[in-house]
A and B are shown apart, each in its own frame.
Chain A
Amino acid sequence: GENVEQHPSTLSVQEGDSAVIKCTYSDSASNYFPWYKQELGKGPQLIIDIRSNVGEKKDQRIAVTLNKTAKHFSLHITETQPEDSAVYFCAARDSGGGADGLTFGKGTHLIIQP
């Protein structure tokens, strides 16, 4: 089955700086990679996703890059703001779909220092 590793577990950055969170996956058949943000007391919410037919996707201050050869993908947040403080999860799902849900990383607690 799929195995997703996520680093770092905690990341503290100054407001306005950039933050990068990295994930690796094991199953070369995986081709869908979402990122979720979870704020305190809430469920995870999708913030961006990427499919394996593209190498990069951007949505305002958030971007995701994918390297299928190396089996890793990264989340980039620029110009960080206090409201970016949360736990971020990467996930992977193989192209076959079927009964499997997403395989998640352990999460990164992002702290934005004022």
Chain B
Amino acid sequence: ETGVTQTPRHLVMGMTNKKSLKCEQHLGHNAMYWYKQSAKKPLELMFVYSLEERVENNSVPSRFSPECPNSSHLFLHLHTLQPEDSALYLCASSQDLRGGETQYFGPGTRLLVL
């Protein structure tokens, strides 16, 4: 195990639902990330947090709303999603944002939007 956990592991939701993904890291890291992994596409960086402050938002639609209440926890709140949002959502953490810091990934949440 990498020290990064994600819940739930699987989620099915309708387009009108509201749900949240949770990530927790037990590594004492200061930076956390959300990535989206779709079939046949590279991992896409969605959000970056450093010391609980958002430092990157890669043009992600507002139906995805991140929250970082402390350096160990990261949430991704979902509302009015579209079927094309179905993907594996991966959380990662690193010691900090310096170039070259290894990122450790969680197992992901497999999301299906109906």
Contacts and interface: CB of A to CB of B under 8 A. Distances in A.
Interface in A77-108: 89, 93-107
A22 interface: no
By size class, the interface of chain B is 20 to 34
Contacts of B33: 101
B48 interface: yes
Interface residues of A, number: 29
Interface stretch (A11-19, A37-45, A56-64, A66-74): A37-45
Contact of A96 (B99, B102, B104, B106): B99
Contacts of B99: 31-32, 93-98
Nearest to A33: B100
B43 A97 contact: no
Contact of A101 (B40, B41, B103, B106): B103
Interface in B42-101: 42-43, 45, 48, 50, 55-56, 90, 92, 96-101
